[in-house]
């Protein structure tokens, strides 16, 4: 009798432990499934991160909350009207493969640029959110620009990047190529209301450091996170054709000149923080703010082509806080302007121009 009772209990015990094992196995499988779902189909994932973000009341974090707001989206090329199609698609080609038209072996003009593509800095043919996209160009030009001190039209702005970022020669305003680029940029921004900048336009702001950006620290960042593609000497890497770049140069004779937008540390830091190393995005940055500023300081301390910028910012007090060439109206040195700390300079400039911060 007692033995039967014992057997019975043992059996029950065995069954229970089997059941427990089964439950543990099931829980494990469920956890694995959720993990795989989140990894490969993040849209279907019950993202706990999003919830904490929305609860956060810190102003720096509420910015992240905005990211659930709709960003600008580039129109679909399949919707281009037939009569404009050829010109607009040609414009897109010119942006994404500029080098094939104006580089070393360019089909329109050889050696008219440094061999870079517009797309190297205006990512995905100028459509990537905070990848220096063109969404707000057509809606905001012509506009006053302090760099020239004049009202600039879109042709002048495009040629600025040809002469500075591409360290090359300006296009004839009447050329088919200029018309195609303008047609493409117009088409991209066609749904943006005049005077408006959509969410995600251009570059995303990052906070200032309370110290000067440090080229030495930036060198360490460069070695660790950039060198594998852009190379030790910053010269990038050519494609097999030996004339176009797989990885564009960051300094040296084929890079942007010292009059280009990226030569200002703020533009460089904003660009790399949300776009580099390749694959980074505004909602998936890979660098800290410090790394972005320091690597900007390192790259922009290396040799590069020079441009005569003495006529830039004819109104001295409108010079931006990080333009590294004097004269200045604010009393800070060229080195302070180049590397910061910037807040104190920015405040002084605001005071000189009598604008509220
Ligand atoms: C080396 C990087 C780089 C390359 C290459 C480059 N650009 Fe730019 N471009 C910039 C930066 C940075 C800005 C923003 C500068 C600023 O605000 O001071 C800019 C701004 C512009 C703007 C104005 C954007 C706006 O919203 O106001 C236009 C238009 C433009 N570029 C066109 C071009 C074209 C066309 C090409 C190719 C011929 C080109 N860029 C190549 C870096 C580059
Ligand atoms: C995996 C390769 C890779 C890594 C790593 C990488 N980049 Fe890039 N980078 C690219 C490519 C490719 C482009 C051009 C993108 C395009 O044309 O679509 C680019 C473009 C750029 C540009 C604009 C074009 C130019 O040449 O001036 C800058 C600036 C830049 N990278 C800086 C950096 C910095 C700083 C780092 C390190 C934090 C970095 N990159 C890491 C591949 C890389």
Nearest CA owner, ligand 1 atom 41: 118
- Work out which ligand 2 atom sits closest to the CA atom of 236: 26
What are the tokens at 250?
């960051």
Nearest CA to ligand 1 atom 35: 158
* Residue 32 burial class via C-beta count within 10 angstroms: exposed 0-12, middle 13-18, buried 19 and up: exposed
In this prediction, residues 22-45 reach a mean pLDDT of: 76
pLDDT score for 334:
97
Nearest CA to ligand 1 atom 25: 137
Tokens of 202: 């251009």
Minimum-distance ligand to the CA of 99?
1
Q: What is the pLDDT of residue 59?
A: 41
Q: Which range among 44-53, 239-248, 263-272 shows the weakest confidence by mean pLDDT? A: 44-53
Query: What stretch(es) of the chain map to CATH 1.10.760.10?
Result: 80-188, 215-352
CATH class for the region spanning 215-352:
mainly alpha
> Does ligand 1 come within 6 angstroms of the Cβ of 132?
yes
Nearest to 317 by CA among 356, 355, 266, 269: 355
pLDDT value of position 9: 79
The yes-or-no verdict on residue 277 having pLDDT over 50 is: yes
Judge if the beta carbon of residue 165 lies within 6 A of ligand 1: yes
Lowest mean pLDDT among 47-56, 98-107, 138-147: 47-56
Residue 302, pLDDT score: 98
CATH superfamily, domain 80-188, is Cytochrome c-like domain (1.10.760.10)
- Return left, alpha or beta for 319; rule: phi > 0 is left, psi -120 to 50 is alpha, else beta: beta
Which atom of ligand 1 lies closest to the CA of 203? 14
Q: Determine the average pLDDT of the residues in 46-57.
A: 43
Q: Whose CA is nearest to atom 2 of ligand 2?
A: 229
251: exposed, middle or buried (Cβ count in 10 Å: 0-12, 13-18, 19+): buried
Residue 50 pLDDT greater than 50, yes or no: no
**Listed range (45-49, 75-79, 297-301, 331-335) with the worst mean pLDDT:** 45-49
Ligand nearest to the CA of 166: 1
pLDDT value of position 14 = 85
Instruction: Identify the pLDDT of residue 55.
Output: 40
Which tens digit of pLDDT belongs to each residue from 190-207? 999 999 999 999 999 999
* Residue 186 alpha carbon to ligand 2 centre in Å: 27
How does pLDDT run across 226-247, given as a tens digit for each residue?
999 999 999 999 999 999 999 9
pLDDT digits (tens, 9 = 90+) for 8-29: 778 877 888 898 888 888 888 8
With cut-offs at 50, 70 and 90, classify the pLDDT of residue 58: very low
Q: Given a cut of 50, is residue 132 above it in pLDDT?
A: yes
CA distances from 3 to 13, 14, 17, 31 (A): 15, 16, 21, 42
Q: How far is Cα 348 from Cα 355, in angstroms, rounded to an integer? A: 10
Q: Is the CB of 265 under 6 A from ligand 1?
A: no
- pLDDT of residue 60 exceeding 70, the answer is no
């Amino acid at each position: 009798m007692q033995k039967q009772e014992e057997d019975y209990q043992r059996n029950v015990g065995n069954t229970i432990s089997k059941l427990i094992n089964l439950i543990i196995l099931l829980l494990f499988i469920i956890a694995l499934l959720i993990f795989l779902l989140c990894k490969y189909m993040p849209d279907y994932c019950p993202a706990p991160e999003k919830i904490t973000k929305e609860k956060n009341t810190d102003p720096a974090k509420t910015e992240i909350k905005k990211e659930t707001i709709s960003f600008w989206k580039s129109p679909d090329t399949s919707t281009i009207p037939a009569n404009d199609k050829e010109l607009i698609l040609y414009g897109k080609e010119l942006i994404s493969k500029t080098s094939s038209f104006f580089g070393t072996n360019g089909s329109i003009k050889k050696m008219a640029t440094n061999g870079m593509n517009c797309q190297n800095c205006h990512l995905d043919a100028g459509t990537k959110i905070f990848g220096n996209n063109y969404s707000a160009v057509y809606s905001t030009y012509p506009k006053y620009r302090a760099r020239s001190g004049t009202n600039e039209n879109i042709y002048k702005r495009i040629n600025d990047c040809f002469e500075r970022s591409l360290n090359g020669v300006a296009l004839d305003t009447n050329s088919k190529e200029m018309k195609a680029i303008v047609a493409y940029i117009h088409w991209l921004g066609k749904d943006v209301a005049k005077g408006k900048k959509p969410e995600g336009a251009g570059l995303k702001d990052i906070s200032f450091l309370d110290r000067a950006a440090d080229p030495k620290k930036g060198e360490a960042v460069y070695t660790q996170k950039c060198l594998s593609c852009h190379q030790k000497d910053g010269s990038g890497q050519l494609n097999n054709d030996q004339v176009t770049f797989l990885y564009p140069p960051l300094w040296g004779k084929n890079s942007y000149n010292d009059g280009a937008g990226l030569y200002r540390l703020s533009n460089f830091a904003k660009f790399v923080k949300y776009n580099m190393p390749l694959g980074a995005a505004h909602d998936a940055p890979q660098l800290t703010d410090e790394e972005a500023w320091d690597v900007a300081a390192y790259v922009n301390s290396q040799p590069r082509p020079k441009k005569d910028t003495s006529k830039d910012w004819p109104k001295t007090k409108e010079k931006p806080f990080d333009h590294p060439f004097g004269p200045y109206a604010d009393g800070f040195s060229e080195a302070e302007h180049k590397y910061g700390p910037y807040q104190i300079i920015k405040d002084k400039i605001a005071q000189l121009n009598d604008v509220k911060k």
